[in-house]
Structure 1
């Protein structure tokens, strides 16, 4: 791992309770985020040095941001630089902590008497807190945030920006919740922050996400909690007690690496009736690859070589890898129905439509005899997405890509609408 001395550090841009931010002189638009060994609680009312915390926190953050980025979430994270530091895009931070809750506990119970601990929020409960240590980070409403009229890196934080952060917080929580579930660990709640990238003027997830940022309950059991709440709950901070806290942080940093690994395999096998369907099938393969799903193309005809079609089917059934078959056949589609009638694996019809008889030909994929369960999807990209949704039921990494794609589609529409409104006001 490289050392921080190899970077040409400029001004210290900011220093918080657990990290320092330095500009990188030779890399405009980037900063170094250096973690500290300090652990705090209650706005630093309690403060201690915990040897090794910087490396533990940095490892946790880098793994979490890698998972989010590989899923497709826009973040400030660039790369890990050392055991205790990472490189990120320079952002002007929006002074709001976005808190997302799945389970009622902690300060929420104090602010909402009568709610029982363990109450499950569906949909997720969203809260905002203005970062103001002197006033103990007061809770804010959306109206207060809008009224503040923050302007950062040339971007005014208005309705569009608030909605993007709100939606992004939900998606980020759900992605991490899904990932931690693979370790039989409940993500109870989480706080995150956003910044405006000074170079692109884009709102991105920034700051850090480490064991100070969430509550984690293994097996959903609060008594097994592994997060900073253990430190907050200490009646007296002793060296032995700090070691318990440190072991909990290490437990999280060890398992967070596992979130980057798939817990189940899966693949798509595309069967085409002839080489004339190759361009259509390549689109399916390209879309599958974007979800991280292996995709194999094969040529076989259920009409002209049914024995070979069933032999190919058996080849992929025999190695135990969960498989989705996509049948690409025009005219009279016998390929999908034959596959569906002879395998328990999912089969998707994706017929290539032609200008002449395409509309009529599609009925051979839609009108199935009884006992056949194959679906029909016309778009090759949509067929790959449908396959990804099936595989995502058991592979959290694929599910995370799908969830991030939903978010990015929503954000692109929101931004496009904002630009259209701005153009309309200018023209008027």
Structure 2
């Protein structure tokens, strides 16, 4: 997928500053004109072309125009530079950005461009040097500059590792083990039997993928995603891809109905149904069984794909689907089904979620209504592709891209309040607070004694009841626990006892947390981490972000046990 257009945090070798002569204002209609002047910019471009061996592609907007042509450089930088050389009588070898390593300038491509943008295109002789030229799309403004020069930040792109129907993958020369995935402005259906250019789709797809992968990472899912790079690309760990599409379905529709005659559309699967399809365009991606995957005896990045690995991918597919399904519900959207792919990280040798998850990857029905579908199915269903039809499809994609950002927002706030009978229990309470932080739950610590100051205890309770934020109270009291029962008898909020038991009297003290009078419903959990998890499970009923972390934790626990079992079996052979 190959074109970044924002900050990568990578700096090039120090470039020689332009001479005063080079920084004089140019009057030629240079697309980069403005600020310091065209000469400095051309000097920078030429120096970059000479400084890096290999094929250097400088993309002003990072796009390839969606029609397979190199965008940006040839028409906007090299042509003006060549014209200047010819005008000066320079008949030497033509300026060319050819060779071995692709180069992307992603901040201020040249001195002065940032200065022009910072001034809003006004002021100085350069503003009147010629006709105004729009700043090429996708070039973000450098974050800081001292004079009219910006510090260029570059990333060196190596060979193309893969090109698919909607993306390209490039190696990163300065970042071994990482790759750049670049989306295309192309939409396809039926294994590319139908394909069209759709302006802006690359940015939409990249935005959706970046948001979804971040959401899953926060939930604890291992993903091949490092950071978003501009509008249409992101950096990811390099993976050897496992050629299986994993499909997870909640509702029967689409190809499932064709392959399973008699099943009515709308049939719901509990749990979600997982299917496997071998990636083989020539044979229309045939459905495979888990046994076929195992029989293939694949090895990727040194990892043999056997029963354990297939089980991990199957369970991960279900967990990922459930997390995203839960995340879309607050937006009143039903995630019907989705497809994902896994790869083996070449560095860690772990199976990770890879490729992309964008609007091509799922069926999404607002209000659970198929007629309102916002996914790629609206493109598949077009009897004839027309400009109007493509605009309708694009509006659907934009609708999803706008709402996918909302998946990161908390719909229902929550809070844990830990009440300790004495500061001597602070260490125990700090463990609860830390565990709450792992679920993204705010936690407050208070000191109060239900035995020595019951009025103050009830005053604290009323304080938290009055602001309307859903709260779980955790009572931490050793010896005779009065906090938990008093709180439980005077609030409708959940109360959890988490007594800090000691070896000497712990066996006796615990009964003050276990045997409650009638009418009290506080639970007792001895582990600080367990108390935080129980609170998270309560909040997770209405907070999809907390629920996602719980679900991700369940998956990781299952995977670690599965891997431990495999290791033990291998050692005993």
Which TM-score tier does this pair reach, normalised by the shorter chain? over 0.9
Partner deviation per Cα, 1:264-299 (whole Å, 9 max, x = no partner): 000000000101111110110000000000000111
Instruction: State the partner residue of 1:177.
Output: 325
Q: CA deviation at 1:116?
A: 0.3
Instruction: Check if 1:129 corresponds to 2:286.
Output: no
Q: 2:405 aligns with which of 251, 257, 264?
A: 257
Q: CA deviation at 1:332?
A: 1.0
Instruction: State the partner residue of 1:396.
Output: 544
Bigger relative contact order, structure 1 or 2 (CA pairs below 8 A, ≥6 apart):
1
Q: 2:555 aligns with which of 386, 407, 413?
A: 407
Q: TM-score, normalising length from structure 1?
A: 0.99
Query: Which of these two proteins has the greater Rg computed from alpha carbons?
Result: 2
- Distance (whole Å) between structure 1 residues aligned to residue 417 and residue 401 of structure 2: 37
Partner deviation per Cα, 1:79-128 (whole Å, 9 max, x = no partner): 00110000000000000000000000000000000000000001111100
Q: CA deviation at 1:360?
A: 1.1
Instruction: State the partner residue of 1:239.
Output: 387
What does 1:160-199 correspond to in 2, within 5 Å? Answer: 160-199=308-347
Higher strand share: 1
Corresponding residue SS for 2:501: coil
Corresponding residue SS for 2:226: strand
Q: CA deviation at 1:8?
A: 0.4
Mark the runs of 5 or more structure 1 residues left unpaired by the alignment. Answer: none
Corresponding residue SS for 2:383: coil
Q: CA deviation at 1:318?
A: 1.2
Instruction: State the partner residue of 1:17.
Output: 165
Instruction: State the partner residue of 1:142.
Output: 290
What does 1:27-176 correspond to in 2, within 5 Å? Answer: 27-176=175-324
Instruction: Provide the aligned C-alpha RMSD in A.
Output: 0.7
Instruction: State the partner residue of 1:334.
Output: 482
- Distance (whole Å) between structure 1 residues aligned to residue 306 and residue 230 of structure 2: 37
- Distance (whole Å) between structure 1 residues aligned to residue 413 and residue 528 of structure 2: 22
Partner deviation per Cα, 1:158-200 (whole Å, 9 max, x = no partner): 0110000000000000000000011010000000000000001
- Distance (whole Å) between structure 2 residues aligned to residue 360 and residue 165 of structure 1: 47
- Distance (whole Å) between structure 1 residues aligned to residue 431 and residue 271 of structure 2: 35
- Distance (whole Å) between structure 1 residues aligned to residue 291 and residue 525 of structure 2: 44
- Distance (whole Å) between structure 2 residues aligned to residue 321 and residue 356 of structure 1: 39
Instruction: State the partner residue of 1:370.
Output: 518
Q: 1:325 aligns with which of 470, 473, 476?
A: 473
Greater Cα shift, 315-324 or 400-409: 315-324
Instruction: State the partner residue of 2:419.
Output: 271
Q: 1:211 aligns with which of 332, 339, 359?
A: 359
Q: CA deviation at 1:7?
A: 1.5
Partner deviation per Cα, 1:36-61 (whole Å, 9 max, x = no partner): 00100000000100000000000000
Aligned length: 425
